[in-house]
Amino acid sequence: MNLLQKYNVAAPRYTSYPAVPLWDEESFGGADWKASLQKSFAELNPESGISLYLHLPFCESLCTYCGCNKHITVNHGHEEPYIHTLLQEWGMYLQLFEERPRLREVHLGGGTPTFFSPENLHGLLTRLFSGCEILPDASFSFEGHPNNTTREHMQVLYDLGFRRMSLGIQDFDPVVQKVIHRIQPVETVARVVKEAREIGYTSINFDLIYGLPLQTPRSIHDTISKVVRLLPERISFYSYAHVPWIPGNGQRSFSEKDLPQDDEKQALYELGRSLLQEHAYQEIGMDHFALPDDELSIARKEGRLHRNFMGYTTTHTELLIGLGVSAIGDHRDAYVQNEKNLAAYQERVREGRFPVSKGHLLSREDLLLRRHIQALMCHFSTRWKRQDVNCDAVVDGLQRLQELERDGLVRVEPAGITVTAQGRPFIRNICMAFDARLWKKKPGTRIFSSSI
Q: Could you give the domains of the chain?
A: 24-361 (3.80.30.20), 364-440 (1.10.10.920)
Is 112 marked within a binding site? yes
Which pLDDT does position 411 carry in this prediction? Answer: 96
- Interval 204-222 mean pLDDT: 95
Q: Is 328 annotated as a binding residue?
A: yes
Q: Is 378 annotated as a binding residue?
A: no
Q: Is 290 annotated as a binding residue?
A: no
% of the chain beyond a pLDDT of 70? 95
Q: What angle do CA 250, 251, 254 make, to 5 degrees?
A: 110
Query: What is the average per-residue pLDDT within 135-148?
Result: 95
Q: Is 110 annotated as a binding residue?
A: yes
Q: Is 273 known to sit in a ligand binding site?
A: no
Helix locations, 284-338, DSSP H: 295-301
pLDDT of 258 over the 90 cut: no
pLDDT (tens digit, 9 = 90+) per residue, 105-135? 999 998 999 999 999 999 999 999 998 999 9
Mean of the per-residue pLDDT values of the chain: 91
Strands 356-361 and 288-290: what pairing? unpaired
66 is in an annotated binding site: yes
Q: Binding residue per annotation — 266? A: no
**More confident: 3 or 368:** 368
**Mean pLDDT computed over 291-296:** 95
Model pLDDT, residue 218: 96
Whether 391 has a binding-site annotation, put simply, is no
pLDDT interval class at 251 (50, 70, 90): very low
CA–CA gap between residue 100 and residue 133 (Å, rounded): 7
| Residue 408 is labelled as binding a ligand | no
68 is in an annotated binding site: no
Query: pLDDT tens digits, residue range 348-401?
Result: 999 999 999 999 999 999 999 999 999 999 999 999 887 777 889 999 999 999
Whether the upstream peptide bond of residue 18 has omega within 30° of 0, thus cis, is yes
Residue 423 marked in a binding site: no
Rg of the chain over all Cα atoms, to the nearest angstrom = 21
Q: Is the pLDDT of residue 245 over 60?
A: no
431 belongs to an annotated ligand binding site: no
Contact present, 120 and 83 (Cβ < 8 Å): yes
- Please report the DSSP string for 104-155 in residue order: EEEEEEES-GGGS-HHHHHHHHHHHHTTSEEEEEEEEEEEE-TTT--HHHHH
DSSP states along 68-114: S--EE-S-GGGHHHHHHHHHHHHHHHHHH-SS--EEEEEEEEES-GG
Choice among 1-10, 207-216, 263-272, 277-286 with the minimum mean pLDDT: 1-10
Residues found in the chain: 452
Kind and range of the H or E run holding 428: helix 427-432
Q: What angle do CA 276, 307, 377 make, to 5 degrees?
A: 70
Q: Which of 301, 221, 312 is nearest to 269 (CA)?
A: 221
DSSP β-bridge partners for residue 311: 308
Over residues 239-258, the mean pLDDT reads 65
